[in-house]
Structure 1
Amino acid sequence: MATSASRTYEQQNDEQLDALHSKLRTLRGITIDIHDDAERQNRELDGTRDYLSSFASGLSQSGRNATRAFGGAGGISQLRMIVLVVSFFIGFWITWKAVRWFFPSTSS
């Protein structure tokens, strides 16, 4: 009788051990998937950081080129550029009004 009970306990232990092994395999698979996803995200973040660094470098270079093209760091040349742009828009507006006055619309 004792051997029958011990055999039953041994069988239950083996079943529980198999269930535990199955859960461990599932947990290991999930852990590997999480690790792979974290590595992929890290590569993606590295690529984004490199892209943004390149963009910032290009933007900085464009700013330096614009400063050089417009005559320094905010001198009289910048004021002349502002006056030129404002004068252009005022001239365009006056021309548009004159054309509308000389050639009115024929729609009823």
Structure 2
Amino acid sequence: MSTSRDRVEDTYELQNDNRLEDLHSKLRTLRGVTTDIYDDAERQNSTLDESRNTFNSFGASLAQSSRRAGQAFGLTGGGVKQWRNIGYCVAAIVGLWFLWRILHWWWASPSP
């Protein structure tokens, strides 16, 4: 009878060992999945940080461009005044008109 009982205990022991090995396997799989999730989260955080830095740099560049445009058109202090830009444009147009008239007079053929 002792051998029968030893066999049953051996069977239970073998089943316990198999179940323990299954648990270890599942634990290794779970550990691997957890590590993969952590690595993915770190990559995403790194990508978000890079995107944030890029947008901050773009915002600073845009603000600087806006300030320069404001100064160029006299909208903010310390820049060229708007009337000066308008004066330059009018002077350029009048100068081109005079040049055209002089060249037209110079190359004009005499009328018969």
In the superposition, the TM-score normalised over structure 2's length comes to: 0.68
Taking a change above 3 Å as real, the CA distance of residues 100 and 21 of structure 1, as seen in their structure-2 partners, is: farther
Taking a change above 3 Å as real, the CA distance of residues 10 and 96 of structure 1, as seen in their structure-2 partners, is: farther
Q: Aligned match of 1:48 in 42, 47, 58? A: 58
The residue that corresponds to 1:66 in the other structure is: 81
Identity between Structure 1 and Structure 2 (%): 6
The residue that corresponds to 2:32 in the other structure is: 22
Taking a change above 3 Å as real, the CA distance of residues 83 and 34 of structure 1, as seen in their structure-2 partners, is: closer
Q: Which has the larger radius of gyration?
A: 2
Q: Does 1:90 align with 2:97?
A: yes
Shift of 1:47: 1.1
Q: Which runs of 5+ in 2 are unaligned?
A: 1-10, 75-79
- CA displacement, residues 59-90 of structure 1 (integer Å, 9 cap, x when unaligned): 101111131535xxxxxxx5x66554333333
In the superposition, the TM-score normalised over structure 1's length comes to: 0.70
Q: Does 1:8 align with 2:24?
A: no
Q: What is the total number of aligned residue pairs between the two structures?
A: 94
Shift of 1:40: 1.2
Cα root mean square deviation, aligned: 2.5
Q: In structure 2, how many angstroms separate the alpha carbons of the residues matched to 1:82 and 1:47?
A: 35
The residue that corresponds to 1:75 in the other structure is: none
Q: Which runs of 5+ in 1 are unaligned?
A: 71-77, 103-108
Taking a change above 3 Å as real, the CA distance of residues 97 and 69 of structure 1, as seen in their structure-2 partners, is: closer
- CA displacement, residues 25-65 of structure 1 (integer Å, 9 cap, x when unaligned): 01101110110110111111111111111110111011111
Q: In structure 2, how many angstroms separate the alpha carbons of the residues matched to 1:33 and 1:42?
A: 14
